[in-house]
């Protein structure tokens, strides 16, 4: 079974940091763009960050740019989202996703998803 599994979620004070990882099983995602989305209760799912298959290109939601960093290792190490300076608007379930193109932020263009990891920020 193809699976993406997120880890590293938790609770942190505003201004603190968390490091999310996404591990894959069932197939290699080395040739896929990898992305993070998030969904807060009562809100729509939104794009957060993405990195291309090689790892040389990244793009971010405007409100997290400069605070979050997405990275990956071509040797199939876990894809990571480093979140610094967390804000009260950041709490959500964060989802890892794999897609065929770096040039889309639409969730429907990402066929593989993890089950999510909860991030809570206290203000």
DSSP state of 114: B
pLDDT at position 30: 86
Residue-wise pLDDT tens digits, 26-81: 778 888 999 999 999 999 999 999 999 988 899 999 999 999 999 997 655 579 99
Measured from the Cβ of residue 88, the count of other Cβ atoms closer than 10 Å reads 9
- How many whole angstroms separate alpha carbon 119 and alpha carbon 64? 14
pLDDT at position 58: 97
How does residue 86 score in pLDDT terms, banded at 50, 70 and 90?
very high
If we measure between CA atoms, which residue out of 120, 101, 106, 89 comes closest to residue 34?
101
Count helices and strands in the chain by DSSP H and E runs? 0, 11
pLDDT at position 27: 79
pLDDT surpassing 70 at residue 117: yes
């Amino acid at each position: 079974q193809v699976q993406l599994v997120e880890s590293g979620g938790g609770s942190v004070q505003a201004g603190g940091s968390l490091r999310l990882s996404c591990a894959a099983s069932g197939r290699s995602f080395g040739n896929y763009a990898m992305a993070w989305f998030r969904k807060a209760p009562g809100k729509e799912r939104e794009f957060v960050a993405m990195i291309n298959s090689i790892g040389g290109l990244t793009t971010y939601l405007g409100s997290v740019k400069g605070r979050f960093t997405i990275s990956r290792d071509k040797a199939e190490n876990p894809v990571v989202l480093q979140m610094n300076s967390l804000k009260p608007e950041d709490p959500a379930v964060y989802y890892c996703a794999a897609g065929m193109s770096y040039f889309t932020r639409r969730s429907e263009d990402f066929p593989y998803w993890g089950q999510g990891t909860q991030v809570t920020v206290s203000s």
